[in-house]
Amino acid sequence: MAGKIVKRARIRKGDQVVVIAGRDNGKRGRVLEVKPAEGKIKIEGVQMIKRHQKANPASGRGGGIIEKEAYINISNVQLIDPQSGKPTRVKYQIDEDGTKTRIAARSGHTLDKE
């Protein structure tokens, strides 16, 4: 084994995505966190789970049952096309100066915010 394998994700933090499989199929949300090595992603308001939390007065945190987002497999989501609002795949375009830009495969519009 010659080192660690680096996986790359086409989806980034802050992107708008739609869930295409699983319990929350059809839900849309903003990406909160991406873990490319594990192939996991956390989306705002999607895959909500309940967790029992112990009170911590030192940090001002109350106890009880809290709801938070869990990770979902990155293969179960698709980016939303900024032009049509429909799910799209991602293509890459490499310019003459060597910069790599993410492009929506559906419409050809850029996904990166300049």
pLDDT per residue as tens digits for the range 30-58 = 999 999 999 999 999 999 999 999 999 99
Q: In this predicted model, what pLDDT tens digit does every residue of 66-101 receive, in sequence order?
A: 999 999 999 999 999 988 899 999 999 998 998 899
pLDDT of residue 114: 58
Bridge partners, 30 (sequence order):
16
Task: Spell out the domain ranges in the chain.
Answer: 1-80, 82-114
Cα→Cα distances 101→1, 31, 57, 61, 111, Å: 32, 19, 47, 42, 8
| CATH 1.10.150.120 applies to domain 1-80 | no
0.85 surpassed by pTM: no
Rounded Cα–Cα distance for residues 46 and 25 (Å): 9
